[in-house]
């Protein structure tokens, strides 16, 4: 494999675009983790639903518009699913110990995983990118997919949007307060249960966004949830629990090391990011950035 | 008084059960013998997990790794080397315990959630290596057709072997849990700060508990290979780790034999539900939700509550 | 026996303990008093190793124990009870005390013999001393609050300490229980030659059994001395003005 500077830069950019999808999903996971203090194992399943829903929507609305509609509607669908799960079952567990909440999210992931199988079947699906983002551009003489550029741009936009939300809007600020001291928030007369519901739904919405964004770049299959949730967990842990910027840092580390793995040792590409995670955790077991609690 | 009766009744019924299970193979169809043997293997695995989770209070979220390491060790020794087979059998649990020692040493320095996260990441690393190293471990195909000593060539003989090893391991685990070490481990579960204050080196005890538990997980791995004659990377996958966790929870993780019950229920359900539908995962999820909401002490815990002798 | 010099501990910007001094002689009963937030519990946590000091020295029987972890400090001969009840709720009363005794006898790593047969006499003796023999088989979590606090002390005795540190041993107790506990402490000091260091809010108790009293305020030592010296000290009177 030729490894000149051009290849390196291209691979770096590929890694970057992959990181952005991971970031969108992990930002959601981190947000839920920060407010509810529970790692949401169902996050991967919701991501998968986002991808499959995107597929269906592009079939219903053919052509490029299908994708743009899906980008808006699929995450909303995911948000609705998460809201139903939260109001029907999850909210009754808030008084219980955290292990029970974690196990509930695991049960939810099992159920949603099979629901996807029931609704969409077990075949591979694929989605093509909209006309605007099809094809590639030339970067330093090498061709680079336009869609990946789009992802590199979207990532920071989501980060800014989320930052504005948590720092400038009322709900956002209350969520941040609840992450640090939920009792205090309750004492102030705010319905903590609704804060949790909002945080959970928003986090899951982001998972849906990630699913929609990833749809044109991979084959949409049934194992997506499992692969993703482990990666997301690890990213959130090395970044610092509940910390959005930590999720960004973690995603970058993960995506970029994976890309370099592909370049230098394709057979064991997946080992590179895991190794990086292990190294980070051995040196800084609490994560690189400060956790929200 | 009542407790002693229950206790001796417990021992009596356990012995009776053992005898029944021993004479079963010639009397029932092959399929049931196989399923029972699989339940034994999984029960041993669940019991080993419960040693650190239920009795030790640690968040061992990737226990399947040690099971898989034990299984792969014996598989590799039996297929890649010409060493005598019994060496493979012994190497399995030992390598699993060494893995447990290494991973455990890094993990016990951390508190609960971080303990779990570090273990998941170290475990996933091992899984990733096993999954990709096609030339050595067979990658996602696994290794099949592993030769067994002629004594274990029939299903019935394998069944007896597995059952006897299971019982021996259970007796050992029982003795360990009732020993001063087991006492200290449970005390650490309930109140690690207090244990430090009475002179117990909490980390060392937790590490020892992990090594013991992973040793037994390795034994379970070896037994799996005896039964199935193959290994695959799924044995090390984190979803399986959580399934074992569910077995402990379902059975009752503060009781001794709860995990066995949990493993038996889950394996039996999976086999029989699997005949009618391919959506076993969905049903497992529903069961888990029911357990969380209605049976947090597990099935055995629930029965213990009902039959608890009244304190004067 | 125990010497604490200029010990400092801060949490972020808050100086919980700011240069406190304490001297405990062998066989003495020493009390630490001070208003809420004075840093008494933090001081105890520093001595027994639950917290790491920022600066200063803690010397026990001539040895610097400032950097040791709690389990090693225990092995040196210091054990403690905790302010908020810190027992093993799922074990029996017997089991609770036995944990400490087994640890002391270095038997805790024994994997093979059934625990219920080991160290029985020593455990029963401790239970008798504190008066919990009749509740031996009860589950610790079901005891009354007062009994749980006594169990706290009993667990600490399992290690046959030379210095016993009690963090608010009568907090939340009824007057009868408080009196009984005080008698117990006096008895322990006599019977076993124990050196006792404790902190309390109840001044009657302090003045009735303590031989030396150290007064803390805002993380610092105002004075340490006997009853008369402390009572007549101006700063002490100021600290408690408007309080009890």
- CB atoms B106 and A282 under 8 Å: yes
- Residue A1 pLDDT greater than 50, yes or no: no
Closest-CA residue to C209 (of C224, C198, C217): C198
Is C171:C181 a contact under the CB 8 Å cutoff?
Answer: no
Query: What are phi and psi for residue B201, nearest 5 degrees?
Result: -80, 90
Range B66-90 average pLDDT: 90
- CB atoms C115 and B183 under 8 Å: yes
Please indicate if any CB of chain C lies within 8 Å of the CB of B251. Answer: no
Give the separation between CA C45 and CA C52, rounded to whole angstroms. 8
In a domain, A197, yes or no: yes
- CB atoms B286 and A109 under 8 Å: no
Give the separation between CA B227 and CA B219, rounded to whole angstroms. 13
Structural domain count of chain A: 1
In a domain, A242, yes or no: no
Residue B199, pLDDT score: 85
Interface of B with A in 263-292 (CB under 8 A): 278-279, 281-282, 284-286, 288-289, 292
In a domain, A248, yes or no: no
In a domain, B14, yes or no: no
Long-range contacts for C93-96 (Cβ within 8 Å, ≥24 apart)?
C93/C127, C93/C132, C93/C135, C93/C136, C93/C137, C93/C138, C93/C140, C93/C143, C93/C151, C94/C123, C94/C124, C94/C127, C94/C136, C94/C137, C95/B183, C95/C140, C96/C140, C96/C151, C96/C154, C96/C155
Most confident of A78-87, C6-15, C178-187, C204-213: A78-87
- Residue A2 pLDDT greater than 60, yes or no: no
Range of the domain at A50: 24-222
Range B158-180 average pLDDT: 92
Neighbours of chain B (3+ CB pairs under 8 A): A, C
In a domain, A114, yes or no: yes
Q: Which residue bears the tokens 């009397």?
A: B27
Grade residue B312 by pLDDT with cuts at 50, 70 and 90.
very low
In a domain, A107, yes or no: yes
List Cβ neighbours of B147 (8 Å cut-off, separation of 6 or more): B78, B79, B85
Q: Half-sphere exposure (CA, 13 Å, Cβ side) for B90?
A: 5
Range A203-216 average pLDDT: 93
Instruction: Let me know how many helices (H) and strands (E) chain B has, helices first.
Output: 14, 0
Closest-CA residue to A242 (of A25, A37, A98): A37
Residue B218, pLDDT score: 96
Mutation test of the interface with chain C: which of B55, B175, B186, B199, choosing the one with the most C Cβ atoms within 10 A? B199
Mutation test of the interface with chain A: which of B54, B113, B135, choosing the one with the most A Cβ atoms within 10 A? B113
Is C218:C16 a contact under the CB 8 Å cutoff?
Answer: no
Range of the domain at B83: 31-235
DSSP letter assigned to residue C92: B
Which percentage of chain B shows pLDDT scores above 90?
Answer: 36
- CB atoms B311 and C138 under 8 Å: yes
Give the separation between CA B30 and CA B133, rounded to whole angstroms. 35
Grade residue C241 by pLDDT with cuts at 50, 70 and 90.
low
Residue B193, pLDDT score: 87
Contacts of B246 in chain A (CB under 8 A): 103, 106
pLDDT digits (tens, 9 = 90+) for C19-41: 888 888 888 888 888 887 778 88
Please indicate if any CB of chain A lies within 8 Å of the CB of B129. Answer: yes
Give the separation between CA C199 and CA C166, rounded to whole angstroms. 7
In a domain, A141, yes or no: yes
Share the mean pLDDT of chain B: 87
Please indicate if any CB of chain C lies within 8 Å of the CB of B1. Answer: no
Range C85-95 average pLDDT: 86
Contacts of C71 in chain B (CB under 8 A): 195-202
For chain C, the structural domain boundaries read 1-77+161-244, 87-159
Q: At what angle do helices A192-214 and A170-180 cross, to 10 degrees?
A: 110
In a domain, B22, yes or no: no
Contacts of B199 in chain C (CB under 8 A): 71, 74-75, 79, 100, 103-104, 159
Contacts of C116 in chain B (CB under 8 A): 178
Residue A178, pLDDT score: 78
In a domain, B275, yes or no: no
In a domain, B38, yes or no: yes
In a domain, A231, yes or no: no
Residue B308, pLDDT score: 63
In a domain, A87, yes or no: yes
Range C134-160 burial, b when 16+ CB lie within 10 A, else e:
ebeebbbeebeebbbbbbbbbbbbbbe
Tell me the count of A-B CB pairs closer than 8 A: 101
Measured between CA atoms, the residue of chain B closest to residue C94 is B183
- CB atoms A237 and B117 under 8 Å: yes
Please indicate if any CB of chain B lies within 8 Å of the CB of A91. Answer: no
Please indicate if any CB of chain B lies within 8 Å of the CB of A271. Answer: yes
Please state, in angstroms and as integers, the Cα–Cα distance from residue A22 to each residue in A208, B23, B83, B121, C68, following that order.
12, 55, 46, 17, 44
Task: For the domain made up of C1-77+161-244, give the CATH fold.
Answer: Rossmann fold (3.40.50)
User: Closest Cα of chain C to B215: distance in Å?
Assistant: 15
Most confident of B162-176, B189-203, C77-91, C222-236: B162-176
- CB atoms C115 and B208 under 8 Å: no
Lowest mean per-residue pLDDT among A102-116, A195-209, C112-126 = C112-126
Structural domain count of chain B: 1
- Residue C242 pLDDT greater than 70, yes or no: no
Give the separation between CA B267 and CA B262, rounded to whole angstroms. 9
pLDDT digits (tens, 9 = 90+) for B92-142: 999 999 999 999 998 888 878 788 888 888 888 899 888 888 888 888 888
In a domain, B260, yes or no: no
Strands C55-60 and C63-64: antiparallel
- pTM, full prediction: 0.87
Please state, in angstroms and as integers, the Cα–Cα distance from residue A249 to each residue in A214, A234, B96, B124, B277, following that order.
19, 12, 34, 20, 43
């Amino acid at each position: 494999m030729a490894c000149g500077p051009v290849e390196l830069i291209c691979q770096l950019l590929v890694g970057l675009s992959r990181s952005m999808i991971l970031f969108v999903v992990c930002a959601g996971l981190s947000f839920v983790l920060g407010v509810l203090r529970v790692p949401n194992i169902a996050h991967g399943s919701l991501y998968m639903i986002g991808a499959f829903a995107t597929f269906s929507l592009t079939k219903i609305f053919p052509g490029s518009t299908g994708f743009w509609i899906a980008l808006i509607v699929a995450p909303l669908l995911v948000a609705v699913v998460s809201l139903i799960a939260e109001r029907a079952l999850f909210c009754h567990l808030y008084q219980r110990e955290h292990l029970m909440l974690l196990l509930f999210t695991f049960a939810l992931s099992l159920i949603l995983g099979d629901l996807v199988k029931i609704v969409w079947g077990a075949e591979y699906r694929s989605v093509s990118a909209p006309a605007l983002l099809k094809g590639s551009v030339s970067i330093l003489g090498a061709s680079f997919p336009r869609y990946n550029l789009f992802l590199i741009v979207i990532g920071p936009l989501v980060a800014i949007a989320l930052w504005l939300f948590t720092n400038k809007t009322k709900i956002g600020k209350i969520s941040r307060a609840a992450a640090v001291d939920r009792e205090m928030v309750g004492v102030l007369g705010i319905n903590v249960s609704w804060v949790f519901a909002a945080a959970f739904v928003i986090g899951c919405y982001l998972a849906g966004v990630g699913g929609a964004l990833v749809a044109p770049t991979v084959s949409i299959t049934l194992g997506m949830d499992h692969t993703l949730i482990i990666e997301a967990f690890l990213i959130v842990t090395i970044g610092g629990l509940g910390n959005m910027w930590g999720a960004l840092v973690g995603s970058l580390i993960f995506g970029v090391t994976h890309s370099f793995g592909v370049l230098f040792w394709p057979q064991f590409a997946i080992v590179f990011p895991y190794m990086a995670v292990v190294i980070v955790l051995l040196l800084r077991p609490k994560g690189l950035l400060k956790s929200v609690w | 008084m009542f407790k002693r009766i229950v206790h001796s009744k417990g021992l009596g019924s356990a012995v009776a059960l053992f005898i029944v299970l021993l004479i079963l193979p010639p009397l029932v169809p092959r399929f049931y013998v196989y399923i029972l043997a699989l339940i034994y293997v999984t029960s041993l695995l669940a019991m080993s997990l419960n040693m650190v989770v239920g009795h030790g209070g640690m968040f061992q979220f990737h226990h399947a790794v040690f099971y898989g390491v034990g299984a792969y060790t014996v598989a590799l020794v039996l297929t890649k080397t010409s060493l005598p087979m019994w060496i493979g059998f012994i190497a399995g649990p030992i390598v699993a315990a060494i893995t447990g020692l290494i991973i455990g040493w890094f993990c016990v320095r951390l508190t609960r959630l971080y303990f779990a996260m570090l273990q998941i990441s170290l475990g996933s690393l091992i899984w990733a290596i096993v999954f990709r190293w096609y030339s050595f471990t067979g990658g996602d195909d696994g290794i099949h057709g592993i030769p067994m000593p002629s004594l274990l060539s029939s299903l019935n003989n394998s069944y007896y072997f597995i059952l006897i090893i299971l019982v021996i391991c259970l007796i050992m685990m029982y003795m360990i849990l009732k020993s001063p070490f087991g006492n200290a481990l449970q005390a650490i579960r309930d109140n690690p700060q207090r244990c430090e204050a009475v002179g117990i080196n909490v980390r060392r005890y937790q590490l020892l508990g992990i090594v013991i538990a992973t040793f037994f997980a390795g034994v379970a791995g070896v037994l799996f290979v005896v039964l199935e004659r193959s290994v695959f990377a799924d044995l090390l996958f984190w979803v399986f780790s959580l399934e074992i966790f569910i077995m402990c929870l379902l059975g009752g993780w503060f009781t001794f034999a709860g995990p066995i019950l949990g493993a038996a229920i889950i394996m039996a359900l999976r086999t029989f539900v699997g005949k009618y539908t391919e959506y076993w995962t969905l049903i497992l999820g529903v069961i888990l939700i029911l357990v969380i909401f209605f049976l947090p002490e597990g099935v055995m815990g629930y029965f213990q509550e009902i039959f608890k002798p009244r304190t004067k | 026996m125990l010497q604490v010099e200029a010990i400092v501990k801060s949490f972020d910007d808050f100086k919980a303990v700011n240069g406190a001094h304490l001297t405990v002689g062998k066989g003495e009963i020493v009390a630490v008093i001070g208003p809420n937030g004075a840093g008494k519990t933090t001081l105890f946590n520093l001595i027994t190793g639950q917290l790491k000091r920022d600066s200063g020295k803690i010397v026990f029987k001539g040895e610097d124990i400032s950097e040791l972890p709690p389990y090693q400090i225990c092995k040196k001969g210091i054990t403690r009870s905790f302010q908020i009840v810190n027992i093993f709720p799922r074990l029996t009363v017997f089991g609770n005390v036995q944990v400490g005794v087994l640890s002391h006898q270095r038997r805790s790593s024994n994997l093979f013999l059934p625990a219920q047969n080991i160290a029985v006499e020593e455990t029963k003796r401790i239970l008798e001393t504190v008066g919990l023999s009749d509740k031996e088989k009860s589950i610790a979590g079901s005891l009354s609050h007062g009994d749980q606090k006594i169990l706290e002390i009993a667990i600490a005795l399992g290690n046959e300490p030379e210095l016993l540190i009690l963090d608010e041993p009568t907090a939340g107790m009824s007057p009868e229980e408080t009196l009984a506990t005080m008698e117990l402490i006096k008895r322990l000091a006599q019977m076993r030659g124990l050196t006792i260091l404790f902190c309390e809010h109840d001044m009657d108790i302090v003045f009735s059994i303590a031989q030396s009293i150290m007064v803390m305020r805002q993380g610092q030592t105002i004075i340490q001395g006997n009853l008369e010296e402390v009572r007549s000290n101006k700063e002490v009177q100021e600290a408690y003005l408007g309080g009890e």
